[in-house]
């Protein structure tokens, strides 16, 4: 079950609201990617604090205007722990740019903007300790990192 701003791990209770919301968002995404709760919570907390330290006031306000951090694909059955060691890819998609683990059947998320997809893919890859593969519109590899 995904965490919400009303139902979250006790370790997040003393965080400022924007940091808590970001940590919940990151942790939920990590759970979708196959992370165990015990690993997802501290990683998400650390990344949320770092995000908040580096985000502008406008970025924080815009993030807080977004909906509940649990608004994502309800079908979490697509999470596949076998893909944990695979690189994260940014590939062209009908709706824009998709982020998905290499060899995954479905993207974890589709973005309108390629840079947003790249940022998310890098975040996931950093969490998994894998590389990021960015593709061009024609499907060829643009960059590996």
Task: Let me know whether 66 and 86 are in one domain.
Answer: no
Evaluate whether residue 111 is within a structural domain. Answer: yes
Evaluate whether residue 97 is within a structural domain. Answer: yes
Task: Let me know whether 90 and 111 are in one domain.
Answer: yes
pLDDT band with cut points at 50, 70 and 90 for residue 142? very high
pTM passes above 0.85: no
* Angle CA 98–134–25, to nearest 5: 50
Q: Give the three-class secondary structure for 118.
A: helix
Q: What is the pLDDT of residue 19?
A: 93
Q: What is the pLDDT of residue 5?
A: 86
Per residue in 82-118, pLDDT (tens digit) is: 566 788 999 999 879 999 888 877 788 889 999 999 9
Task: Let me know whether 141 and 89 are in one domain.
Answer: yes
CB-CB contact of 102 with 111 (8 Å): no
CB-CB contact of 95 with 112 (8 Å): yes
pLDDT band with cut points at 50, 70 and 90 for residue 69? low
The domain in which residue 61 lies consists of 13-71
Task: Let me know whether 50 and 93 are in one domain.
Answer: no
Evaluate whether residue 121 is within a structural domain. Answer: yes
Mean pLDDT, the chain, whole residue set: 84
How many domains, in total, are found in the chain?
Answer: 2
CA distance linking residue 80 with residue 21, whole number of Å? 25
Evaluate whether residue 2 is within a structural domain. Answer: no
Encoding tokens for residue 107?
């993207």
Evaluate whether residue 131 is within a structural domain. Answer: yes
pLDDT band with cut points at 50, 70 and 90 for residue 15? very high
Evaluate whether residue 18 is within a structural domain. Answer: yes
CA distance linking residue 18 with residue 51, whole number of Å? 10
Task: Let me know whether 17 and 43 are in one domain.
Answer: yes
């Amino acid at each position: 079950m995904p965490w919400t701003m009303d139902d979250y791990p006790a370790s997040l209770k003393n965080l400022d609201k924007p940091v808590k919301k970001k940590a919940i968002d990151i942790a939920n995404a990590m759970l979708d990617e196959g992370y165990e709760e015990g690993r997802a919570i501290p990683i998400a907390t650390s990344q949320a604090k770092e995000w908040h330290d580096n985000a502008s006031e406008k970025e924080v306000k815009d993030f807080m205007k977004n909906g509940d951090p649990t608004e994502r694909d309800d079908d979490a059955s697509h999470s596949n722990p076998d893909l944990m060691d695979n690189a994260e890819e940014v590939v062209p998609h009908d709706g824009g740019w998709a982020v998905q683990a290499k060899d995954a059947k479905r993207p974890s998320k589709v973005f309108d903007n390629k840079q947003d997809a790249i940022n998310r893919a890098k975040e996931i890859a950093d969490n998994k300790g894998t590389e990021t593969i960015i593709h061009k519109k024609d499907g060829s590899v643009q960059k590996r990192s």
